[in-house]
Amino acid sequence: MSTPVRGRVRVAQGAKRVRVFLGGQLVADTVHPLLVWEAPYYPTYYIPRADVVSGVLAPSGRTSHSPSRGEGVLSTIKGGAAEAVDAALEYPDSPIEQLRDHVRFEFGAFDWFEEDEQIFTHPRDPGVRVDILPSSRHVRIEVGGVTVADSVRPHLLFETGLPVRYYLPRVDVRMDLLEKIGTVTHCPYKGAAEHFDVAGHEDLAWSYPTPLPESTRVAGLIAFLDEKVDVYVDGVLQERPKTKFA
């Protein structure tokens, strides 16, 4: 894939069919999406204007300026009984030539499909890989000096750009010290996660009860936020990783 860069923005040609729905109504369908990294962490999709359903874009008269992408024109989208105000953005005179004649749809306002699978949170980054491996390493988790998990049968999840995560069977976790909270987060590679307070400390653990097919090995297992707990692997205290989650 070609990946031209201007400032912080990187652009690549996507290979998947991408469809966008609002209120159950199709608003865009393309086999030529652009993947655009407006920030370094993950991409978003820009859809060729020619592949947007005729008549769904209603310019609102409002604009949005980006130092790298130029002056953006906002539109409201109507689909069925639903309406997404100012949820479409175009840069007709962008200094990044690839973005011209493309529409950026606000991801969270729509339902998205790559081929025939619905996706969540943001498009999958083709440069990110997730490997989940069973292990016999001894993993022990402490919170405030209290052992909250101790296992010799973890699954280790390796995700590009992130520290290794240790997913532990619930029978090896002090579930009496965990309290499920209302927080639910979504990962485009793993699915929807439920979250837990741990030993009185807020939001230190999570689990994927029904992960996406490629991540089924972690179904129901518990992972801890290594940035805020003490992790011992084979008896050795691990350095706490420094990430945006810390």
The CATH code of domain 130-237 reads: 2.170.150.40
Q: Which tokens hold the place of 27? A: 């608003």
Q: Which fold has domain 10-119?
A: 2.170.150
Sheet with 117-119: list strands edge to edge. Answer: 25-30, 18-22, 111-114, 117-119
Q: Where are the domains of the chain?
A: 10-119, 130-237
Cα 176–212–171 angle (5° rounding)?
Answer: 25
User: What pTM was computed for the model?
Assistant: 0.80
The residues near 171 (Cβ < 8 Å, ≥ 6 apart) are none
Q: What is the DSSP letter of 58?
A: E
pLDDT in tens, 141-189: 999 999 999 999 999 999 998 999 999 999 999 999 999 999 999 999 9
Position 119, amino acid: I
pLDDT in tens, 55-102: 999 999 999 999 999 999 999 998 878 999 999 999 999 999 999 999
Q: What is the torsional sign of CA 94, 98, 103, 106?
A: negative
**Are 10-119 and 130-237 in the same CATH fold?**
yes
pLDDT in tens, 190-244: 999 999 999 999 999 999 999 999 899 999 999 999 999 999 999 999 999 988 7
Rg (C-alpha) for the chain, rounded Å, is: 21
The total number of residues written for the chain in this structure? 246
Helix (H, G, I), strand (E, B) or coil at 177: helix
